[in-house]
Homo-oligomer: A and B are copies of this chain.
Amino acid sequence: MKIVFASGNKGKLREAAEIFEGFEILPISAFPNWKAPEETGWTFLQNAVIKAEAASKLSNDYAVLADDSGLLVSVLDGRPGIFSARFSEEGTDAANRAKLLRELSGKSDRSAFFVCSAVMIFPDKTMIAAEGRCSGRIIESERGGNGFGYDPLFVPEGFDRTMAELSEEEKNLLSHRGKAFRRLIGILNRKTAATF
């Protein structure tokens, strides 16, 4: 089955291709008329649905996959949450991480968790969705060159290394996105058996 992934993020695309083993994951750039929709939802799930719906309008030949993910920091009352990718004014990974470190400066409670809502829409307009979470803590300075986003600052529960120091395989096993995608595949496999 061919699945179009509604994200311009190369790191996410690589993760999706790895986890959706046996499926063909196409980048959204295969559709030159793709325009990322405004993320007007107020939850991860709503924003993932908005992206998946926009992508599903481009073609009836493919299933589409979209996710929305973010970091929730306890002492920041759950921020940056759905605004994780737009936390700093610049909106780059580096600027977002720098802002997070500034806001956590001097705080002793560094606990946080990642959330991912992943959604698939099929040509028959049915949809499936799943959520994944990954708990951990924010360290004082960046470590590691893998991953993207807040990965160099996030140490998953039970680990000493940051998410950016894990191999892709390790990250996919424990990450919020890995969990959400695998749950989605679980539903998908039962669904496909009957409908495709």
Q: Which residues of A contact B (CB under 8 A)?
A: 40-43, 45-46, 49-50, 53, 119, 124-131, 183, 186-187, 190-191, 193-194
Contact status B40-A50, CB under 8 Å = no
Number of copies of this chain in the oligomer?
Answer: 2
Taking a contact as CB atoms closer than 8 A, the residue among B41, B125, B128, B191 that contacts A46 in the complex is: B41
30 pairs, A vs B, C-beta closer than 8 Å: A40-B40, A40-B42, A41-B46, A43-B53, A45-B49, A45-B53, A45-B127, A46-B46, A46-B49, A46-B50, A46-B53, A49-B49, A119-B127, A124-B183, A125-B130, A125-B131, A126-B130, A126-B131, A126-B187, A127-B128, A128-B128, A128-B129, A128-B187, A129-B129, A186-B194, A187-B191, A190-B190, A190-B191, A190-B194, A191-B191
